[in-house]
Every structure is written in C-alpha cells, then in structure tokens.
Structure 1
Amino acid sequence: MTKVPIKLLIAASGTGGHLFPAIALAEKLQEYKIEWLGVPNRLETQLVPEQYPLNTIAIEGFQQGLSLSSVPILFKLIASILAVRRILKQGNFQGIFTTGGYIAGPTVIAARSLGLPIVFHESNALPGKVTRFFGPWCSAVAVGFAIASKYLPGAKTVCVGTPVRSQFLHPAVDNALDLLIPNGVPLIVVFGGSQGAVAVNKLVRQSAQAWFDAGAYVVHLTGDNDPEAESLQHPQYIVLPFYDNMAALLRRANLAISRSGAGSLTELAVCGTPAILIPYPFAAEDHQSYNAAVFTEVGAALTFKQSELTLEILQQRVLDLLQSPAQLAKMGENAKAIGVPDSADQLAALVREVIGR
C-alpha cells in the first residue's frame, strides 16, 4: 500500500526574514506534501517556489497587533481565523509551520481550534509579540538564538538556529561571483536586508571616498526604495538594488556593513563575515539591537546606534578594521562559531517529530 504523504501548511509572509527560513525548511521535507499560506501582493507571491501551492487570505491591517479594542480589528481577526480554518479542513492538513508575523496569529488560533500540531520558528533574539503570546499554544517553538527562550515562559522551546537558503551551504557557489572585483583587494559589502536601508546608504556614500583611497572596493546593495541610489559613481563602487548570490558575495567580503535583522545575521554567521551592525531604530521593540548584541558579545561584530553614528566614526572604524586583518579574521571566526549551518536539518527533524504522526 502506498503511504499517503503528510500534508503541511506553511504560514510565512511579508519579508525575506520570514520567507527564506520557511523555504529552506520546505526543501528538507521532500516526503511531505506542502502548501503555503500568505497574503496577496506581498513578497511570497514572488519568492515561494511554484511547487508549493499558494493559498492567500486577506488580513491586511491586522499587523497592528493583538489588541481587540476596535470592532474593525475584531472582525478582521474573526474573518481571517475562519478563512484559515476553511483552508485547513478542505485541504485535510495534518499540521502547521509558521515563522511568525501577523499571519501567524489567526493561523495558530485556527489550527489550535482544530487540534492540529503547530511548530513555530522565531528567528529573533527578542521574540515578537505574536510569538510571546501564542508560543504556549504551540506544540514546539524553535528559536534562532538560545537567549530567546528566556522570553518564552510556558512554551516548549528548542534552539535550532535559523535556516539559510541552500546557496549558503555549498561553497562551490563562490565561483559564481560575477562582479568585476580584482583578486586581493579589500571588499566591503553594504546591505540592509530585503527592505534596504536608506539612512545607512546615505552615510556609506558620504564615507566611501576614504575607503576607495585605501584601495577598497564597495559593493552596495541599496534596496529599491532609495531615490539617490545612483548618485555616487566610482570605478571601485558597484551599486545594485539586490544581488542574488549573497553567499558568494559575503564569503568574498572582508567586511560587511549591515542592519541586524535575524536573516542577515544568520547569513553573516554561516559565511564567517565580520561586520559593522547598525540596528534599524524603528524595528518593533528595538529587536534588531537584541540581535546585534548576540554578535557583539562574542566579538563577531561592532554595533553602532544609527542616531549616534556619524560620517567620521563610520569612515574611521572601517579604515581601522581594514588595516587590522588579524582583527577581521578573529571577528570572522567568532561569527562562524555561532552559525548553525545545519539549522534546516535540525528544524526539519523537529517538524517530523511533532507533525510526523
């Protein structure tokens, strides 16, 4: 008799930080039949591989939080819960996996009302409000940083790291770096995650001439929301909105300048790339500062508040690091030490344990 595959609904929506770990997990669960749950007109409509059917529900506006103080929010919550329940029942799903965000709330409630097992993955050092509220409702909460467990009393937590895209696990992709960067020159990579970082971009452009004078090249990934992205032109400066082969780029980099979203930090750690971190100051509950602290405390990165970072400070600290290859090497080793390259395997094993019956 042919064994019927387990059906799993993955609820992940909105940003690369939510989507990439879920996609990495899905690639490990080849024996499962997987469908996706997302929101119309968000990043999942572009990133989710075609082999995973995409179900969408309209929950725009619910991202304000879990407060039920207004009637419109209450109605949106109820409607989204009923929509997810309908998808789960009609599809005969046997479990849920979610990476948080506002789509997780109605998904967890719907799954719990049907008695389905739920695995939640939280990538940030400070779990989000949704994770803290719903964590105890879940069968297991996988965390990317061990420190996150202390903020989740009552939840069954397991530290597995955060899965990265498969390109980060195969060093052979280094050969695919198709940017015109000479061998042996110092390379600084600047990126702000899937949302970009306009304030950081401006500071980097103002600082870059001193780095060029020191012989460095800069690859600057500006995102697509920076109106001044093309304002700096220089032979040692490569500006792109995004770059697909981040694994090869970060392995080649001598130094990264980055926001401190969990996804970006995970990629830096797996590649062993030393970094200057500038947490996004308007992130919910300042969670990027908590993420950055994990790297700073082990000597993998230097962290600066955006409000305190000046042109002179950024310019000089980068020059100091470029002139200290031993320090950069040590920072890279420290970063690699906290990376979890087999995170997707560990998370898949947890899902099989919880949703394998």
Structure 2
Amino acid sequence: MANAPIKLLIAASGTGGHLFPAIALAQKLPDYEIEWLGVPNRLETQLVPKQYPLNTIAVEGFQQGFGFASLRVLGKLTGSIIEVRRILRQGNFQGVVTTGGYIAGPAVIAARSLGLPVVFHESNALPGKVTRFFGPWCTAMALGFAEAAKYLPRAKNVCVGTPVRSQFLDQASDASLDLAIPDGVPLIVVFGGSQGAVAVNKLVRQSAQAWFDAGAYVVHLTGDRDPDAGSLKHPQYLELPFYDNMAALLRRSAIAISRSGAGSLTELAVCGVPAILIPYPFAAEDHQSYNADVFTKAGAALMFKQSELTAQKLQSQVLSLLQSPAELTKMGERAKAIAVPDSAEKLASLVREVVES
C-alpha cells in the first residue's frame, strides 16, 4: 500500500466556469486517483464520467429570503454533508479540491470535519458569498485574480490564475478552424459564455450591417436559448449556438464582444484578444463587473453596462477599434500580460503541497 496513489475528490458543478478549470487541474495530476463530486442533471454529468468516476449529491443554493423553501434547502444541505462524509470515508480520500458554487459548502464542511485538507479555487475578482464564508476554513485559497485577496483577509491566499482547457495552450489547434472566413478580413467574435446572452445578441444584430460594410466578418455564438436565432442572414455573418474550438476562433479574431465571466476572460487573455465586455447585469453581487474592471484597468478591454449600451454605441465603438489596428494590437498585448498560461501547473503544485504535506 506504500505506493498506492493519492486519492483526491474534486467538487465542481454546474457551468463551464466551474468545470473547465477543475478538469484542467485534474489533467495535471495524472498520478492521483481522482473522483468527482457533482449534482444530478448538471453539465458535469456530460463532461466528467468519460474521464473520472462521478459521485452526485442533492444540494442547491439559497436563492431567496428565509422561509419554507430555505428549510427544504437546509435539509438537503445537511443530508449532502452526511453523504459527502460517507464518500470521503469509504473512499479513503486524502484531500478535496473545489472550484466554488453551492456544491462547495458540503464538500468543505465534510472534508474539514474529517480533518482532510481542502484547496478552494476562486476564479472571480469578487469572491462569491460561499467563498468568503468558507475560505477561512480551507487549507489554501487559490485565486484567479490577485484582486480577490482583499475580500479574503483571513484565508491563506495564493494567486495562481485560472486554468484553461488544453486546446488554448496548443497552438496546433489553430489548424482546425473549419469556418468559411477569408484570410485577411477582420473577424468579430461574439459570445456570451456557456449560457449565451440574448440581450447582447440583439444589440449585435442591430449593429452588424455597419461592420459588414467595413469588410468585417462576424462569428456569433448565440447559445441555445435565443428566440431570434436565424433572423439575420448575411454572407459575412456566421451564426452558431456553440463552437467547439474556441481557442482557434479567438486567435483568429480581431476583437471579441463578450460577457465577463472569469472563464471567458481567462480564454480571452490567453489568446490575447482585445474585447468589448458587457457584464451580465444579474450575476451574483455584480461580480462580472469586478472581473471586467481588471481588464479595463489594464487597458485590455472596454466595458459597458448593458443598461447603458445602445446598438449605435456598440456599432461605433467596434468600428473605431477596427479602424485603429495599432490600438487593437496594444490591447491584445495587455490582455496577454494578464494571462497565466501555466495556471493549471501552479494550481496542481499547490494541491500537491497541501495534500502531500
């Protein structure tokens, strides 16, 4: 048993912003025996079982003021803590990593109640309520943005950046961009993260004709919940719900129009893409604005509140940037300066230090 691999439970659930960094980390720990903790009917049930054993628990977040619904959620939380303790004990796990969200609560409580070390990765510049509450309980807090440390004064903070999918670090992936975009034309890429962005989609469609007239092509990733999908037709407009090879697409782009979730911003930074950022206005505690602020202060992006952005303003800002290639180049270089391309290695090193000490 002396040479048995270290067993690690990774608690990551819900969206790509939680799952992709955790998967990138797991790939940097090939000598570990890794299992996953997730929630039924979330994205992890599609992505994880092909690579790692998936354990699921019934847990959800507190979305409203205290009431009968909160009592039900509290009951689920209690049951989930008991279940995670059982998983950890029976599996003889030696540590836990979580990337936040409401699954982090039972994972942290169960692990610490058993005396197991916990590494918590927080990708946002403004840590969420769960992170701020549980951070001091954890053995180490791994941060995507150094700015997050000021909100976690009692935690052991280590800035490691946010890991990205391997395709973003593989220059050979550029060869597989299979879209009909001529060489040499400026390309605008629009995306709203894994959930899409209907309000942004509407502004883009209203603005796009002027960009076409300027010779630009637009690749518009609408998500799968846009009722107006298919309403704009133009030979310079490619509309898709999703696109698998985002790394190649972003490297080909002249400018991106995007929400400012931490995962999307990490991908933009690694690829060195100038951006117009439109934070999701209903994100918890407006944390996307805090993320975008890091990029605007660095000169890597422009940020506009959705409530204040008109199609005319978006149209003119994009045209102004397209007509200023030197400024776009500077913005791209500043974006790359924010990137931490070896983030997965840094996080893996921290996990080894914590779990193996």
Asked if TM exceeds 0.5, the reply is yes
Deviates more, 1:90-99 or 1:66-75: 66-75
Distance in 1 (alpha carbons) for counterparts of 2:306 and 2:299:
20
AA at the equivalent of 1:262 = A
**1:324 aligns to what?**
324
Q: CA deviation at 1:72?
A: 2.1
Question: 2:274 is matched by which residue type in structure 1?
Answer: P
The answer to whether 1:266 aligns with 2:266 is: yes
Aligned twin of 2:247: 247
The aligned counterpart of 1:171 is: 171
Aligned residue identity for 2:224: D
Distance 1:339 1:6 in 2: 30
- Partner deviation per Cα, 1:114-140 (whole Å, 9 max, x = no partner): 000000000000000000000000000
Distance 1:68 1:175 in 2: 54
Residue in structure 1 matched with residue 47 of structure 2 by the alignment? 47
- Larger deviation, residues 34-43 vs 1-10: 1-10
**What is the rounded CA distance, in whole Å, between the counterparts of 1:63 and 1:355 in structure 2?**
30
Q: In structure 2, list runs of 5 or more residues that go unmatched.
A: none
Q: Aligned to 2:172, what secondary structure does the other structure show? A: helix
Equivalent pair of 1:270/1:341 in contact (CA under 8 Å): yes
Distance in 1 (CA, whole Å) between partners of 2:244 and 2:308 is: 32
Question: CA–CA distance in 1 between the matches of 2:194 and 2:206?
Answer: 22
Letter in 2 for 1:11: A
Who is 1:97 aligned against? 97
The residue number in structure 2 matching 1:10 is 10
Alpha-carbon contact 1:260-1:289 (below 8 Å) kept:
yes
For these two proteins, the number of residue pairs brought into alignment is 356
Q: 2:212, 2:62 → 1: CA distance?
A: 42
Shift of residue 63, structure 1, vs aligned partner: 4.4
Cα displacement (A) at 1:76: 1.6
Deviates more, 1:69-78 or 1:156-165: 69-78
Say if 1:253 and 1:273, in contact at 8 Å, map to a contact too.
yes
Cα deviation, residue 286, structure 1: 0.2
Q: Distance in 2 between matches of 1:302 and 1:221?
A: 20
**Match of residue 311 from structure 2:** 311
Contact 1:65–1:102 (CA under 8 A) maintained in structure 2: no
8 A Cα contact 2:59 2:73, kept in partner:
no
Q: What's the CA shift for 1:73?
A: 2.8
Q: Which amino acid in the other structure matches residue 138 of structure 1?
A: C
Q: Helix, strand or coil: the match of 1:194?
A: coil
- Distance in 1 (alpha carbons) for counterparts of 2:173 and 2:64: 40
2:356 match: secondary structure: coil
Which residue of 1 is the match for residue 339 of structure 2? Answer: 339
User: How far apart in 2 are the matches of 1:209 and 1:15?
Assistant: 33
Shift of 1:2: 6.1
- With normalisation by structure 1, the TM-score equals 0.98
Letter in 2 for 1:328: L
The equivalent residue for 1:229 is 229
Question: 1:1-357 counterparts in 2 under 5 A?
Answer: 3-48=3-48, 50-60=50-60, 62-64=61-63, 70-357=70-357
Partner amino acid for 1:300?
Answer: A
Deviations 1:24-75 (A, max 9, x none): 0000000000000000000001122512000000113x34389799432321
Distance (whole Å) between structure 1 residues aligned to residue 106 and residue 38 of structure 2: 12
How far apart are the structure 2 equivalents of 1:2 and 1:68?
A: 51
SS of the equivalent of 2:194 reads helix
Q: Deviations over 1:153-189 (max 9, x none)?
A: 1100000000000000011111110101000000000
**CA separation in 2, counterparts of 1:21 and 1:71?**
32
Inter-CA distance 65–119: structure 2 relative to 1 (3 Å threshold): farther
Contact persistence 2:62–2:73 (CA under 8 A): no
Structure 2 SS opposite 1:9? strand
Counterpart amino acid of residue 99 in structure 1: T
State whether residues 68 and 74 of structure 1, in contact with CA within 8 Å, keep that contact through their aligned partners in structure 2.
no
Amino acid at match of 1:139: T
Residue 356 of structure 1: CA displacement?
1.6
* Rounded Cα–Cα distance in structure 2 between residues aligned with 1:68 and 1:145: 35
Q: Cα offset for 1:229?
A: 1.2
Label 1:132 to 1:307 Cα distance change in 2 as closer, same or farther (>3 A): same
Deviation string, structure 1 residues 66-118 (Cα, Å, up to 9, x no partner): 97994323212211111111111111111000000000011100101000000
CA displacement, residues 195-219 of structure 1 (integer Å, 9 cap, x when unaligned): 1000000100110011000000000
Q: Identity of paired residues, percent?
A: 79
The CA distance in 1 between the partners of 2:229 and 2:319, in whole Å, is 23
The TM-score normalised by the length of structure 2 is: 0.98
